[in-house]
Chains A and B, each alone.
Chain A
Amino acid sequence: MAFGVVVLVTTTGCTMRHDRPDDAGAAPRVLPDESVCRAAELSATAEDRGSLMSNTKTQVVLTNTGTRQCALAGTVGLDGVRSDGSVVALETSTGTYFGEPAPSSGTLAPGDAAAFYLAGGRGCTAAVEGHRQTWSAVRVRLPSGGGSIDVRTRFDTVCGVAVSGIGRPDPDNDLG
């Protein structure tokens, strides 16, 4: 089940700010929730989880490497990072062929992990003709203003990309 995006909108409430002439008519700033996980306190790894009926699956695991419990729920945004460092926003759809990860509590204690799926494909005409679209890294834009974190993966976006919500990582039930 997808998690709704947790968004807390905080306004300053400071009358000085709203009385300043250069703020006249300006929308209130949206500040990130202090409880959300920041990119600096997460590590990200990508696991190729195979493909079925030409739908490809990569699981991105986000681990809390910080010292505090933080909130991590909702849906990420994605950019592709080229080898020269340039960044391309990736158009993503929500909901994947592989469903959603098992639901989590929405918070991560230090050392705990959450995950989301990237779903792509190899059945579109471009892929059938042998074309690919891979990146030096995929930049994961965290929900609720948590910043972004790059993850190295061979995930191919040539047929588009869909993302799941954030939940618990799939069990590692490889039979070896």
Chain B
Amino acid sequence: MRISALSRAARHFACASCVLLVAVLLQFWTTPARPAAAWPIEQHRGVDSCANESTSRMATLYQASPYGTYGFYIGGLTVNRSCPSHASFHNQAWANTVKAQGWNLQPIYSGRQPGCHPNTTVTYPISTNPTTAYSQGQSEGNDAIFQAYTRGIAGPIWLDMDIDIPDSYSCRPSVDNYIRGWMGAVRANAAYIPSLYTGYANANRAATFAVANRPYQVTIPHWNNIPGVYGGLPNLNRSYWTGHQRGHQYRGGHNESWGGLTFNVDNNCYDEYVHGSTNHSVYAPCVQ
């Protein structure tokens, strides 16, 4: 049966409309532009710790282990309470030295935390007023930028929102607003990439924030020893953060021995931006 010119045109119009519709839908979840050449995307494993590791121990860990990225804390109210000397110990000189050794870095900031979780005592709670909480987030986001800058670090900074708040909890609106404020402040500075470390509930909600206040990438704790950013994170919506924007903390604090030394670390699998070293090496890729 011959196809009329009119129906052919109609099919072409319908096809073009489909393309347009898809393009419009993609705008709802798009990857903001970043200078990709400036920040290496690392598909590999790393560790984080709150111990004050000397640069000599860091050198041993780098040479003897398969890890390429090291997470450490740059500041925040919770860091000052949990690891009192950590942030000051990890100054610019320390950062420059370990980067010269080959390390990529995961700078982490941990400030106020949710105060409505029934099983947790919080010394520095996020305000229960959502407007105030947003301001607190902005203030601490700006502090995170400052702490990173004084260490000569640009690129991604992680907010450690350690306490995961289910949707039904009373302080959820404030917690979400704090995260919005923090991410918005960091995103407003083009030199930094707002990154979030948090549990599934917080992360799945943060994925729906307006782009200006949304984390660019997330790292999720789930100590299941499955070092994958999709298969290892079964409760993170698979349609969120799909463009090399995920990390997975797959094992919690434990001792590991490398080069004759013992380190107590978490294990992480990164498929996201990290702060690159000057002497970059590629390590084992993270299982997807």
Contact = CB atoms under 8 A, between A and B. Distances in A.
Interface of A: 48-55, 57, 93-99, 119, 121-125, 128, 132, 134, 154, 156, 159, 162, 170-171, 173-175
Most buried by B among A93, A125, A128, A171: A128
Contact of B80 (A96, A97, A159, A175): A175
Contacts of A49: 81-82
What secondary structure prevails in chain B residues at the interface with A? Answer: mixed
B48 interface: yes
A54 B252 contact: yes
Contacts of A95: 255, 262, 264
A57 B82 contact: yes
Contacts of B110: 52
Contacts of A51: 78, 82, 113, 120, 162-163
Interface of B: 48-52, 71, 73, 77-84, 108, 110, 113, 119-123, 160, 162-164, 197, 199-200, 221-224, 235, 249, 252-255, 262, 264-266
Contact of B253 (A50, A121, A128, A173): A121
Contact of B264 (A57, A97, A124): A97
B200 A128 contact: yes
A97 B266 contact: yes
A122 B197 CA distance: 13
CB-based closest 7 A-B pairs: A97-B253, A123-B221, A99-B51, A54-B221, A50-B82, A123-B223, A121-B252
A53 B80 contact: no
Nearest to B265: A97
